[in-house]
Structure 1
């Protein structure tokens, strides 16, 4: 098991500054703490486009058009914003429905429990279970898979991982190098495997999850170096 820890260390040494970013995520402070932008980020990301090249620029464009203009101040406003108003920025109607529906549920939860938007996201994330995600009101939203569900939980302060294809590929690569067998085929089992690797290596599941994306190469740089300034913003 020491070998597995050493291999994880090798990957992590490539991602200087990752802990700071993950700490901010767990404090629900991504996008300068704007819950609307976190929900929009997760909704846009639900269709599997390149995160840094496709999703982040569109979230920024949405921010400039609707958030900075104070048209969308909170989750209630987001839940009521029709696709027709944003389709020049984001054409995919199904993923926009994800944004509307997640915002609606979290707003209603906040109203019921006397919570701010941030408090509602954090309380939902704390109580939500990946094992029973399909029974969760957010898990039942068309277009919300387990990866999006887990992504929202992470931004809501839960130290966990997503069963994203890149995360799986890198984790399987690490396990192969260490000659360690752990389940990775089932999504829920994979999340537990990341928990186990975190326990062994001394890193957090969220650190391992984000590391797998940020060690990917784009051009002559890994994403951690190429998008360092973007990470500081989001």
Structure 2
């Protein structure tokens, strides 16, 4: 390694050391096995997260509530059921209509894709992700859905099996902090620049982009504890 590579690895290693168990969590994400492999819940998770609320205190409890109210009783068994579920029926537990339409629209597209290709919901999700790209994301059928920004698009790709990162504000802040400590200049201003910089940091450090991304969220402190420790039991469920 050259000096720049060593600097980045020396700085990022202590961050990653705080997140024991992260590798297995990311493995499950890349196998499309989050939420016990339930694609409906993964889509709902991404749609709810698209409006920028705190993931662990606001989004996860609502996804669990949705699971209890609609999935466990068999009312929503698959993506077709999700695409047909009107906002009126979920309004009491989730008031944001725009993000609900994201869930419906993504579910509808993936269901239709599965019908065309004769694939299960999970295989359709992974088929879409494997044929998606970062560069042309706005022209992708899911990227074209109103309310799906690059962060949500990337989140869906990750759960569909693509080793990549999301360019949200927390990830950007942590990446810039690492680069500053390493005294290394890499571009992070634009969203695409940030994702490519994370890819480069992954090559240097031997961690995966998805691991660097989730690490950035999980090393944040809440109530005097980092999220990795505070929400370890939740992470095992989701």
In structure 2, which of residues 11, 19, 22 is the aligned counterpart of residue 18 of structure 1?
22
Equivalent residue, structure 1, for 2:13: 9
In the alignment, structure 2 segments of 5+ residues that lack a partner are: none
Q: Judge which range, 157-166 or 180-189, deviates more.
A: 180-189
1:120 aligns with 2:121: no
- Matches of 2:166 and 2:185, distance apart in 1: 19
In structure 2, which of residues 52, 64, 86 is the aligned counterpart of residue 60 of structure 1?
64
1:129 Cα offset (Å): 1.0
Equivalent residue, structure 1, for 2:163: 159
In structure 1, which of residues 83, 88, 94 is the aligned counterpart of residue 87 of structure 2?
83
* Mapping of residues 133-172 of structure 1, within 5 Å: 133-172=137-176
- Matches of 1:220 and 1:175, distance apart in 2: 25
1:169 Cα offset (Å): 0.5
Cα deviations by residue, 1:68-87 (Å, 9 ceiling, x for unpaired): 01000000000000000001
In structure 2, which of residues 30, 49, 55 is the aligned counterpart of residue 51 of structure 1?
55
In structure 2, which of residues 159, 179, 187 is the aligned counterpart of residue 183 of structure 1?
187
Equivalent residue, structure 2, for 1:35: 39
In the alignment, structure 1 segments of 5+ residues that lack a partner are: none
**TM-score of the superposed pair, with normalisation by structure 2:** 0.98
The number of equivalent residue pairs is 234
1:189 Cα offset (Å): 1.5
Query: Which structure 1 residue ranges, 4+ long, deviate > 6 Å from structure 2?
Result: none
- SS of aligned partner of 1:184: coil
1:131 Cα offset (Å): 1.1
- Matches of 1:77 and 1:116, distance apart in 2: 14
Equivalent residue, structure 2, for 1:230: 234
Cα deviations by residue, 1:160-218 (Å, 9 ceiling, x for unpaired): 00001100000000000001111111111111110000000000000000000000000
- Matches of 2:127 and 2:84, distance apart in 1: 22
Cα deviations by residue, 1:23-73 (Å, 9 ceiling, x for unpaired): 000000000000000000000000000000000000000000000010000
- SS of aligned partner of 2:113: helix
1:130 Cα offset (Å): 1.5
Question: Aligned-residue CA RMSD in angstroms?
Answer: 0.5
1:97 Cα offset (Å): 0.1
Equivalent residue, structure 2, for 1:101: 105
In structure 2, which of residues 210, 216, 220 is the aligned counterpart of residue 206 of structure 1?
210
